Structure formats: structure tokens, C-alpha cells
Amino acid sequence: MTGRYQYFRTEDFDCQETGENQMKPIFIHKLDTLREACGFPFIVTSGFRSPTHSIEKRKEKVGTHAQGIAADIKYKDGTQMYKIVQKAIELGFTGIGVHRSFVHVDIRKLGDDRHPVMWAY
């Protein structure tokens, strides 16, 4: 996978606290596909998080943002939120979280006994 994307720049995913960026190109390409499927612009409110990021430091084990396989996408209304979730499911995102102002999507690895997950904040 190359660093060339249709809708995003690698810098869109920089850690907000450290500026680091270790996003996996496969994830950004998948997010590009999701953006295309939705048909409206995405604002990424959180991409890569350094393991030293204040949110990650509170966790027992770093999350999908620190693994470079997650992003939070701001939406403007319930129609956009629904479409992001619907298309993310269709495209095989394995973690989806819905917040009152953003949708989290990730491509967490699933073992034989694990299934895709969805949650609300």
C-alpha cells in the first residue's frame, strides 16, 4: 500500500499531543473507501495516538488508535451518523463506536472466538 490517498493526507492522522503518526496505510485506504461509499466529506477528529497520549496512558493495554488502525469521524447529523455506521459494517470494519459527535471505526484483529463489536459512548 502506498501513502497516496484520494481523500486524506497522512498528516490528518497525527497524534494531537505528540505529532507522531504511525497509521497503517491499509487502514487509511479502507477509510478512503468508506469516505467514497458515504459520499460526503469526513473530518478526522482523532487518528493516531502515541502510547504516551493522555488517553492511552490510562489504559491497561494501548487501544486501536495507538496501533494505527482507528479513527474518529465527526458527523453533522443523524443521517450522516447512520450512513457512516451502515457503510462501515458493509465494508468490514470490525470495531464501531457511536458518540454524540463522532463515529469511531477500526479494523481490530478478530480471533476465532471473537466477533466484530459495536458500542455507544
The pTM assigned to this predicted structure is: 0.92
37-46: average pLDDT? 97
Where do the domains of the chain lie?
10-120
Interval 86-107: pLDDT, tens? 999 999 999 999 999 999 999 9
Counts of helices then strands in the chain (DSSP H, E): 3, 5
Q: So what's the pLDDT on residue 62?
A: 87
Whether domain 10-120 has CATH 3.30.1380.10: yes
